[in-house]
Chains A and B, each alone.
Chain A
Amino acid sequence: MDQRVILAVAGSGKTSFIVDSIDPRRSNLVITYTDNNYRNLRSKIIRKYGSIPAGTRIYTYFSFLYSFCLRPFCGDVCDLKGVNFDVPPDYTRRLKRSNLSHYIDSNRRIYASRIASLIFNFEIAEDVQQRIKKYFDAIYVDEVQDFAGNDFNLLLLISNSIDAVLVGDFFQHTYDTSRDGNINNGLHDDYTKYKQAFGEKGFDIDETALRKSYRCSPTTCEFVSRVLGISIDSHHDRESLFQFVDDEMLAESIFHRTHTVKLFYQSHSRYPCNSENWGASKGIDDYDSVCVVLNNSTEQLFRAGQLSKLPPITRNKLYVACTRARSELLLVPERYVKKYKR
């Protein structure tokens, strides 16, 4: 069995790598994380093979979890009506794990972050594994770094029974599929330990195949490596524009430039311009000119040359934002544009 984890950097062609790895004659299970990636993968597969190969199925993670893993076993028994993507209310945390109300809301929708937990606690994990084995020869997972808690364990369980290619960028971990108390708590704290978690399950770790970025220029890569402490190389040698905009007038004109996307730490929709949040820009590949907006605390760390001291999740989000840039990366302090905030 082929069991591989490919650790990649931003813009190194993870999606294309997966598309190229697929053998269209086999039964392939392709799981992506975001809707963006789902559409992206789908269109790349169609472009390459003419259509989705007969045995290949592409799922976003939660629709896979719900409709492939859970519902066939307990849709009727638990009278499930769908998935609730909200954060489960606090009181449910105190309920026993054997109590279905811990997992399912009053409208009979299951909390997305607790599907994997239910699968383990109600002992259907082995059935799920059998089901995967029955229908698929190989599994391909994109954005593997976002699997946490029980989802991580479930992923290892199902990947261990067929050929598996898991692709991800440890430093693009900006989000947890689920948090389950101390299950896999601290998994993402340390890169070496993270690799070990796969190694122990017999996975080969490949850190070379997707080491270089096609999207990011040497300029961006140098900035990210030096300032954020995340090492990344470029495939080409074209320098790009990089500027810290410490000028209110210029900042305002950039704010109004429609071809430059403004990436905010949060609440981008309160700014009337072409914008997105750092974390949500993950997987987006078609920005050319990117303006990363720094809030006060980040700006101060940047000025002090201490961005690598950001909390890991924030640092990772900033890494995601900066690595969206192709030909231009601008850093703008948020205070210069705050007046436009609604």
Chain B
Amino acid sequence: MVKVITKVRLINFRRYKEFEIILQPERNIIIGDNESGKSSILQAIDLVLAGSRSKVETIGLESLFNVDVVSEFLASGRDYDKMPVLKAELYLNEQHNPDLNGNNNIDGKMCDGLALICAPMDEYSAEIKVVMKEVDATFPFEYYSIKFQTFSGEPHGGFRKYLRHLLLDNSQINSEYAMREYVKSVYRSNAEDIERHKHQNEYRKHKANFRDNVLIDVNAKLDDYQFSITTNTKSNLEADLTITEDAIPIDNKGKGRQCFIKTEFVLQKRKSAHPLDVLLLEEPENHLSHSNMKRLISTIAHAEDQQMILTTHNSLICTRLDLRNAVLLNSSSSASAVLADLTPETAEFFMKAPDNNVLEFVLSARVILVEGDAEFILMEALFKQVIGEDHEKSNIHIISVGGISFKRYLEVANLLGVRTAVLRDNDGDFKKNCQEAYEGYVSDNIRVFYESDNTVRTFEISIYQNNADLCDKMFSEGKIKLSPQEYMLNNKTTAALRLLQEEAAHLTVPEYIKDAIEWIRG
């Protein structure tokens, strides 16, 4: 039976006072700015599934609790009944296991699931009240209990695992602990219980053999005290295991290779009785070269054995793995937007299209979309002309879509509410190319800007006509045989670059571009 997480709900967890995200049964790509809380989600899932109190204690409640909620509590009346509670809940698909089923969740809904709850211990309420009376009191994390339970109210943790999962965090590639945890989980998901017990037992036997047969020469010279080999929690099979490629341990390989191997090894199809149910990948693009990343993407795209939840900053990863699986986290709100409603054609387009900036687009609030490189090169200067400051400062992104695939972007803009200005050449027929073509796309948030004189067919012509003197001077010298406007049309980027470098401050901005810039600032 397929085991998947259908929803995650968080309360007072890290940057979220309240948060909810719906997950797809197969692939989930969580995208968002730095500090938008991508890792918080993976961490929450990892903690709840592991059901390990010591793991939570190692991280510390202080770093897990929402900072604002803690300081608000301290600034308020510090009422014991209003002490914040941290919750992380994983809603699961139907598992047909009564131990998981119940309504002990924030939704109050009968379903299967697991939760982590950190709440003040009632037994200490008297002590907490005393501590909270002190003027300079710090928050009493010490009096909080860490509890794992299922939605049926059953305690959970330790040996019994309801879902098998692995968190692969390529940003922590250097940590010895992370490496050991990784090897351990991969070993456990590859070897059967019985095999593992046998391995461990044999390993101890080998150690004993070594003591009896090899160390014997030195031990023979000793009386009461003898040398032996350690066997304990820090020194056992799982602690000593490593993974090799061509007989070289992967910890000895470069970071990039290491990341690649770790991800690929986890993803390979296995005949194990305990395949992983949920795989959490934190920024798998870390340390990878472009070509390795492409290989990795195709491996991920073909892994269908488990639910996958990955975070990324990379356009290539999120488009190639189908934008419809992407969930966008917004750093300014706790809402998440889903791109599941994109049309298949658009999702397909981004999957196949040349490397693009769709992630930048998705993560922006205001965007000017332009057709090609020439527009892109000059827009920066034109923007500064109109507004008097850089577009980055106004938090406006300029993206060249390469060609005229505006509609694909507008579909995304529509779903996410990105304010988008499109700068479109009329190509000799503004009614057809700039009005009729975008019917159904234009809205309060989306507008198309164009030259409404059909003879001004393109951006270059518009720039020329608005700056005829300047262009005539620049583009009629030296070897140039064409008329200045012809030259500009035939050498779009070269001309744009020269204009930017030599006359950026003196350009007259075409009216439609000015309109677009003013509109986008709103």
Report the separation of the CA atoms of residues A72 and B151 in the bound assembly, to the nearest whole angstrom. Answer: 7
Contacts of A75 in B (CB 8 A): 102, 104, 152-153
Cβ of B154 under 8 Å from chain A: yes
Report the separation of the CA atoms of residues A80 and B108 in the bound assembly, to the nearest whole angstrom. Answer: 15
Contacts of A134 in B (CB 8 A): 98
Cβ of B96 under 8 Å from chain A: yes
Nearest chain A CB to B117 CB, angstrom units: 9
Contacts of A73 in B (CB 8 A): 102-103, 110
Report the separation of the CA atoms of residues A68 and B153 in the bound assembly, to the nearest whole angstrom. Answer: 9
A35-70 to B contact mask, C-beta < 8 Å, 1/0: 000000000000000000000010000000001100
Nearest chain A CB to B118 CB, angstrom units: 15
Cβ of B101 under 8 Å from chain A: yes
Q: Is the CB of A67 within 8 A of B104?
A: no
Q: Is the CB of A67 within 8 A of B103?
A: no
Contacts of B96 in A (CB 8 A): 135
Number of interface residues of A (CB under 8 A): 15
Nearest chain B CB to A203 CB, angstrom units: 25
Cβ of A76 under 8 Å from chain B: yes
Most B-side CB within 10 Å, residue of A71, A72, A75: A72
Nearest chain B CB to A172 CB, angstrom units: 30
Q: Is the CB of A76 within 8 A of B104?
A: yes
Cβ of A131 under 8 Å from chain B: yes
Contacts of B102 in A (CB 8 A): 71-73, 75
Contacts of A67 in B (CB 8 A): 152-154
Report the separation of the CA atoms of residues A75 and B105 in the bound assembly, to the nearest whole angstrom. Answer: 10
Nearest chain B CB to A240 CB, angstrom units: 45
Q: Is the CB of A80 within 8 A of B153?
A: yes
**A76-B153, A80-B153 are contacts. A71–B98 as well, Cβ < 8 Å?**
no
A69-85 to B contact mask, C-beta < 8 Å, 1/0: 00111111100100000
Report the separation of the CA atoms of residues A271 and B274 in the bound assembly, to the nearest whole angstrom. Answer: 55
Of all chain B residues, which has the CB nearest A76?
A: B104
Report the separation of the CA atoms of residues A134 and B152 in the bound assembly, to the nearest whole angstrom. Answer: 14
Main secondary structure of the interface of A (DSSP, over half): helix
Report the separation of the CA atoms of residues A150 and B150 in the bound assembly, to the nearest whole angstrom. Answer: 28
Contacts of B152 in A (CB 8 A): 67-68, 71-72, 75
Nearest chain B CB to A265 CB, angstrom units: 39
Contacts of B108 in A (CB 8 A): 77
Q: Is the CB of A68 within 8 A of B104?
A: no
Contacts of A57 in B (CB 8 A): 98
B408-424 to A contact mask, C-beta < 8 Å, 1/0: 00000000000000000
Q: Is the CB of B103 within 8 A of A131?
A: no
Contacts of A74 in B (CB 8 A): 103
Q: Is the CB of A135 within 8 A of B98?
A: yes
From residue 285 to 309 of chain B, which have CB atoms closer than 8 A to chain A? none
Nearest chain B CB to A307 CB, angstrom units: 46
Partner of A71, one of B104, B105, B110: B104
Partner of A68, one of B98, B103, B110: B98
Of all chain A residues, which has the CB nearest B98?
A: A135
Contacts of A131 in B (CB 8 A): 98, 101
Report the separation of the CA atoms of residues A71 and B153 in the bound assembly, to the nearest whole angstrom. Answer: 6
Report the separation of the CA atoms of residues A14 and B359 in the bound assembly, to the nearest whole angstrom. Answer: 68
Of all chain B residues, which has the CB nearest A55?
A: B96
Report the separation of the CA atoms of residues A43 and B276 in the bound assembly, to the nearest whole angstrom. Answer: 32
Report the separation of the CA atoms of residues A86 and B96 in the bound assembly, to the nearest whole angstrom. Answer: 34
Most B-side CB within 10 Å, residue of A68, A74, A76: A76
B98-114 to A contact mask, C-beta < 8 Å, 1/0: 10011111001010000
Of all chain B residues, which has the CB nearest A135?
A: B98
Nearest chain B CB to A82 CB, angstrom units: 11
Report the separation of the CA atoms of residues A282 and B419 in the bound assembly, to the nearest whole angstrom. Answer: 77
Nearest chain B CB to A288 CB, angstrom units: 39
Of all chain A residues, which has the CB nearest B154?
A: A67
Report the separation of the CA atoms of residues A99 and B441 in the bound assembly, to the nearest whole angstrom. Answer: 59
Contacts of B154 in A (CB 8 A): 67, 71
Nearest chain A CB to B90 CB, angstrom units: 16
Contacts of A76 in B (CB 8 A): 103-105, 153
Report the separation of the CA atoms of residues A240 and B102 in the bound assembly, to the nearest whole angstrom. Answer: 54
Report the separation of the CA atoms of residues A173 and B153 in the bound assembly, to the nearest whole angstrom. Answer: 32
Report the separation of the CA atoms of residues A68 and B152 in the bound assembly, to the nearest whole angstrom. Answer: 8
B66-85 to A contact mask, C-beta < 8 Å, 1/0: 00000000000000000000
Report the separation of the CA atoms of residues A72 and B105 in the bound assembly, to the nearest whole angstrom. Answer: 10
Report the separation of the CA atoms of residues A310 and B108 in the bound assembly, to the nearest whole angstrom. Answer: 52
Contacts of A135 in B (CB 8 A): 96, 98
Report the separation of the CA atoms of residues A128 and B79 in the bound assembly, to the nearest whole angstrom. Answer: 37
Nearest chain B CB to A54 CB, angstrom units: 11
From residue 151 to 204 of chain B, which have CB atoms closer than 8 A to chain A? 151-154
Contacts of B110 in A (CB 8 A): 72-73, 127
Which chain B residues have a beta carbon within 8 Å of chain A's beta carbons?
96, 98, 101-105, 108, 110, 151-154
11 A-B pairs with CB atoms under 8 Å apart are: A71-B152, A71-B153, A72-B98, A72-B101, A72-B151, A73-B103, A75-B102, A75-B152, A76-B104, A76-B153, A131-B98
Which chain A residues have a beta carbon within 8 Å of chain B's beta carbons?
57, 67-68, 71-77, 80, 127, 131, 134-135
Apart from A71-B154, A72-B104, what 8 extra A-B contacts exist at CB < 8 Å?
A71-B104, A72-B151, A72-B153, A76-B153, A131-B98, A134-B98, A135-B96, A135-B98
A-B complex: 9 closest residue pairs judged by Cβ atoms: A72-B102, A75-B153, A71-B153, A76-B104, A72-B152, A75-B104, A135-B98, A72-B101, A73-B103
